[in-house]
Chain A
């Protein structure tokens, strides 16, 4: 997650910088951020509509960069970056939901076990009387 945050920070910087100048360096930063997230999504085998659209945007941004349309290229890269982040978040949310389900089951089982243990303890104490 720290890696993503760093990338986000870089992306934000590039967006802000792009507003003030059309520096190819900033465009490079946005492009690198998008590419890094794309690689991360591919490595994590994240799929979905956002990935397809983001991949398409990365290609478009590259073409725009070739045509020296820096503002459009940066904006397109940034949109792709957000889409990759959304895709990653969706995956994260799915995993979290499964974790929650499993944990709720575990908690329920542990509560049931605790009730059983308490009953056993009461019975053992009653044996003394």
Chain B
């Protein structure tokens, strides 16, 4: 055994390895140990008793699962070695006799303490791995639930959207059909009213249709000359017209008075207004809502024929009923 090893083992024999390691007991490259340079008195306080070594093992294994401790071969080995050391120690506890034995016991005790620590760490690793795996499994389950929920929500959303779309389509179709029905009904009424108005056609009442609607032109012969009072014939005709208008409630009636150019403008304007108003009043009496009616006099401003001739002037003296059907939206 060389000098360095002898010094080191001497130190080992009087100090636990932990102290040895902590104080860098290994001989330096210069061949001089830091601990070896210490006074021997400081090392003498270290106990060599087997109980102290056992106490170290007990402290290391305290609270550790017995199954884990049983896996530590070094602990078993240490206890066995310490047991043998105790016998020798009890016989003679002098350093000279038991020094090298104590060194071996110290080393194996240190190893046992470390061995238990490593086993505890490994057990902790196993426990953490188990815990980690359990959480990963849980995560996977939650993830699957999330996907299921998302699918369910997406499906519900799609169903709701589809239902909404169907409802909108149905409503749209209903509106379209309703519009078609209204349009057809309106057309039917228009044709019906035209037919019925055309039945009024006579020498003095002309019925025509243009962009403004159905126009019923009544000759001034149906009025007293120069007056706005209605003759019996006109009243009869207007009553028939009122009867038709009562049925076709959606129409609006504009009453327009016209004259020829004989006489002053003011006279003709006044006469045309009065005649239009007289017709309006009569229609109201016949039950037509005043809201549907309007009257206006144009005097001789809107002739339909030449005022230079007798026939032309006669055509210009008239009262027109402009009947407009209510527009139906497409």
A interface residues (Cβ-Cβ under 8 A, vs B): 5, 8, 12, 49-50, 52-53, 56-57, 59-61, 63-64, 72, 75-76, 78-79, 82-83, 85-86, 89-90, 92-93, 96-97, 99-100, 103-104, 106-107, 110-111, 113-114, 117-118, 120-121, 124-125, 127-128
Contacts and interface: CB of A to CB of B under 8 A. Distances in A.
A95 B253 CA distance: 104
Given A56-B4, A72-B1, A118 B142 contact: yes
Contacts of B6: 60
A111 to B, nearest CB: 6
Main secondary structure on A side of the interface with B: helix
Nearest to A62: B1
B138 A90 contact: no
B82 interface: no
A64 to B, nearest CB: 6
Contact of B77 (A12, A93, A113): A12
B27 A56 contact: yes
Contacts of A128: 152-153, 156
Interface of B: 1-2, 4-6, 8-9, 12, 17, 20-21, 24-27, 73-74, 77, 100, 103-104, 107-108, 110-111, 114-115, 117-118, 121-122, 124-125, 128-129, 131-132, 135-136, 138-139, 142-143, 145-146, 149-150, 152-153, 156
Contacts of B117: 89, 93
A124 to B, nearest CB: 4
A59 B114 contact: no
A60 B26 CA distance: 15
Contacts of A82: 104, 107-108, 111
A75 B25 contact: no
B100 A49 contact: no
A5 B118 CA distance: 15
Contacts of A92: 118
A82 B6 CA distance: 17
A90 B114 contact: yes
B24 A49 contact: yes
Nearest to B131: A107
Contacts of B21: 49-50
